[in-house]
Amino acid sequence: MRFADYAKIYLRAGKGGAGSSHFRREKYVPKGGPDGGDGGRGAHIILRGNPQMNTLLDLRYKKYIHAPNGERGGSAQKSGKDGIDVVLSVPLGTVAYESETRRLLGEITEEGQELLIAKGGKGGLGNTHFKSSTNQTPRYSQPGEEGEEVTVEIELKLIADIGLVGYPNAGKSTLLSTMSSARPKIADYPFTTLEPNLGVVQLPDFRSFVMADIPGIIEEAHAGKGLGLRFLRHIERNRVLLFVVSADTDIEKEYKILLNELSEYRVDLLEKPRILAISKMDLVPDFKLEDQPDLDVPIIEISSATGHNVELLKEEIWKLLLRDDT
């Protein structure tokens, strides 16, 4: 499987190094006093955004990650080295939750953005810190603190300008392959698309936008039916939604079911700009748009097979993206 949008990992940050209980002993300094150094900090575990990645596949096979501990403090007030932080590269659009409570730890949306998800323990203080007028030879130092332990669930929500929304076999994958250089799997049976696909759509004058083909939604998808919630989350980060409904179906009924599934999942998704493409027009030669009820959405009739109105659809999408920027 080349694409993964979910991973569950047990993380243990590094333990802090112990402080040193050392005393200075030199030939001409018989009573040099305490000089134990501090322990080093345990290593953190950090997520870092990488725009070159589009999958969590690497993390899917890392069930346990243990970060290095800090070093012990040394003599002559030398501090131990900090543990080397473990940095996990993730795609933009990654969200991390604490597994037990589903508490949001944070999300990565920008290149180089970092999210600390497991904090390394502090190093212990050396005996130098405990010297006083009443105790000039302290023989104790602090142990290092334990690093944080947490089980995290990491999810990927694809970031794209346009999200294709529709039933299985509505023609979304074919449309993506027609409009861009993406080559998703296309066949004549439901759920051909089992993973989201991204494609860059090129327009004249060096214009372009990113389109995501999201696996088909069916009725009760918000309750987990079909591919369910596994892919509904990818719609959250798309700026504009392109609904695709086949001309040989009940267009009004199918479109309203899709709207309902989005609203049941997250009602604010209906606030996104949207456009409806009626696909497979080459299969219904007697189709008349004026016979359709008013769905209160811009509608364009297209055929990916013949290229009918595909360029027009690109331009209409571009207009919506420009409107969304303002």
Residues 207 and 189 in one domain: yes
Cα–Cα nearest to 245, from 190, 163, 172: 172
* Listed range (109-113, 163-167, 282-286, 298-302) with the worst mean pLDDT: 282-286
Give CA–CA dist 275/293, Å, rounded: 15
The predicted-structure confidence for 49-59, as pLDDT tens digits, reads as follows 998 887 888 88
Residues 260 and 280 in one domain: yes
> Domain residues for 32?
1-156
Query: Which of 123, 156, 189 delimits the end of a domain?
Result: 156
The predicted-structure confidence for 214-242, as pLDDT tens digits, reads as follows 776 655 444 444 454 566 777 787 889 99
Phi, psi of 283 (to 5 degrees): -90, -15
CATH assignment at residue 22: 2.70.210.12
Strands of 104-108's sheet, edge to edge?
Answer: 64-66, 6-12, 149-156, 94-98, 104-108
Residues 52 and 28 in one domain: yes
Q: Where are the alpha helices (DSSP H) in the chain?
A: 57-60, 172-179, 229-232, 251-265, 310-325
Residues 310 and 165 in one domain: yes
**What global pTM score does this model have?**
0.69
Is pLDDT at 306 greater than 50 in this prediction? yes
Residues 204 and 301 in one domain: yes
Query: Which of 140, 156, 172 delimits the end of a domain?
Result: 156
Residue 231: predicted pLDDT: 63
Is pLDDT at 281 greater than 50 in this prediction? yes
Mean pLDDT of 179-206: 66
Mean pLDDT of 293-301: 85
Residues 72 and 142 in one domain: yes
Give the residue, 125 or 285, on which the prediction is more confident.
Answer: 125
Residue 194: predicted pLDDT: 52
Instruction: Quickly state the pLDDT bin for 88 (edges 50, 70, 90).
Output: very high
Number of domains composing the chain? 2
Query: Which of 112, 139, 156 delimits the end of a domain?
Result: 156
Of how many residues is the chain composed? 326
Residues 40 and 132 in one domain: yes
Residues 193 and 233 in one domain: yes
Share of the chain above pLDDT 70, in %: 88
Residues 220 and 279 in one domain: yes
Residue 206: predicted pLDDT: 84
CATH assignment at residue 287: 3.40.50.300
Residues 106 and 201 in one domain: no
Residues 149 and 240 in one domain: no
Residues 36 and 150 in one domain: yes
